Structure 1
Amino acid sequence: MLKEKDYYKNKSLFITATNTDVGKTYASEKFLRYFAKQGLRVGYFKPCETGVIDLPLDGNKMLKITKELNPDFTAHINDVVPYQFKLPAAPYVSKGNTYIDIEVLKEKKEYLQSLCDVLIIEGAGGLMVPLEKNLFIIDLIKEFQTQAILITPSKLGSINDTLLSIEALKNRNIDYEFYINLYEDKDSFEEVSLPFLEEYFDKLNYLHNI
């Protein structure tokens, strides 16, 4: 589990993953509830959400949970999810002619942090999902100067996905921890992937244990 210095360092954690549909929103809720139980006022930020018709489904759900846990978090959904796009695709594709401004995102982050003790930031897709031609999710983590929480899957292929994502984080000198989300191929995980992971890493963290 995270040490105190990890979430107080910059008052925020960035929840990312090896790919889409790995459990970032589920992980965000787990961390929100964990920190709330520690007596901390929690906050939530999702810089960009695609597949939005009326309201951003993930962002709106998480905002409601956050306000239940922290009544001081009075932010509007458009502050919590400043960039919302209809097409369910990478933000670079979904945004059309809209420019995703990193300075706007930094300002939103600072505002949301003023309403909480620890801000949970949820990315979109995996680390190399593009927002602009030369701006990727991993760049947001670096620009936000926050620690990454990498969510990795339990399915076949998770070893490769996990190691590649960790290499990318190390190459950017980003502090990180990774948590395995046991949700797919659970019955075969212990036989297929766990032997190597236990040998390669000193310790394994599981999302369901938070």
Structure 2
Amino acid sequence: MKFIVTGTDTEIGKTVFAAGLAGALGATYWKPIQAGLEDGADADTVATLAPGTRIHPSAWRLTTPCSPHSAAELDGVTIDPAALTPPAVAGPLVIEGAGGVLVPVTRRHLFADLFAAWQLPVILVARTGLGTINHSLLSIEALRARHVPIHGIAFVGDAVEDSEATIADIAQVERLGRLPRLAPLTPAILAHAFAAAFPGLTA
């Protein structure tokens, strides 16, 4: 079982969702490109929230927390999209993108283009707040325009039934569930909440 986890935007809870998914599946986690290291890498967050998760090293680790294409230029390195291939690991794999679907990997290549090349099922993570219908439908259209398989949409935040149902109905995607904002956020609390919210995404 292999999944790509991407989002409709940045800072929406995608890494927490990816940690919950990796823990639930007993998966290896891979963040192909990490941009921004000062506050810790997303892989560190996953390792903390899902203890025992195998972490596959990022292909590029960039200093500045911004779009990978810009972070790479600031670091004086060149990202080669052709070199980004999902690792051959035993068992499940969770791949986390950076920010949203159309975030640039280079000035000519977007994350959605990588997803199209990989042809692995994508889980789109969306917030439940104002604007999510537009952001979610645009993200789904961008994926479908590239013939990327979509496994479903997962929401993060307080329940907003109409928005969640509207997105799933208009886009004709499976509504996988909703993870509430968790405080405190601990491995045990995340594991329990994830299993309750996404019973179809457990090993």
The structure whose Rg is larger is: 1
What SS does structure 2 have at the residue aligned with 1:95? Answer: helix
The residue number in structure 1 matching 2:62 is: 85
TM-score (normalizing by structure 1) = 0.75
Find the partner of 1:61 among 31, 40, 45.
45
Unaligned stretches of 5+ in structure 2?
180-196, 199-203
Find the partner of 2:71 among 94, 102, 111.
94
User: Deviation string for 1:17-47 (max 9, x for gaps)?
Assistant: 11111222111112112213xxxxx211101
TM-score (normalizing by structure 2) = 0.77
Find the partner of 1:26 among 10, 16, 26.
16
Residues 49, 56 of structure 1: 8 Å contact kept: no
Could you tell me how far 1:58 is from its partner in structure 2? 1.2
| Percent sequence identity over aligned pairs | 25
How far apart, in 1, do the equivalents of 2:50 and 2:82 lie? 24
User: Deviation string for 1:49-100 (max 9, x for gaps)?
Assistant: 11113x842112324666614xxx4x6xxx5212111111101111113111
The residue number in structure 2 matching 1:4 is: none
Structure number with the higher helix fraction is 1
How far apart, in 1, do the equivalents of 2:145 and 2:117 lie? 15
Find the partner of 1:118 among 69, 89, 92.
92
Matching residue's letter, 2:29: Y
Supply the RMSD in Å over aligned alpha carbons.
2.4
The residue number in structure 2 matching 1:144 is: 118
In the alignment of these two chains, the number of paired residues is 178
- Relative to structure 1, is the Cα distance of residues 66 and 81 closer, same or farther in structure 2, using a 3 angstrom cutoff? farther
- Relative to structure 1, is the Cα distance of residues 205 and 100 closer, same or farther in structure 2, using a 3 angstrom cutoff? same
What SS does structure 2 have at the residue aligned with 1:44? Answer: strand
The residue number in structure 1 matching 2:177 is: 206
What SS does structure 1 have at the residue aligned with 2:100? Answer: coil
Residues 154, 180 of structure 1: 8 Å contact kept: no
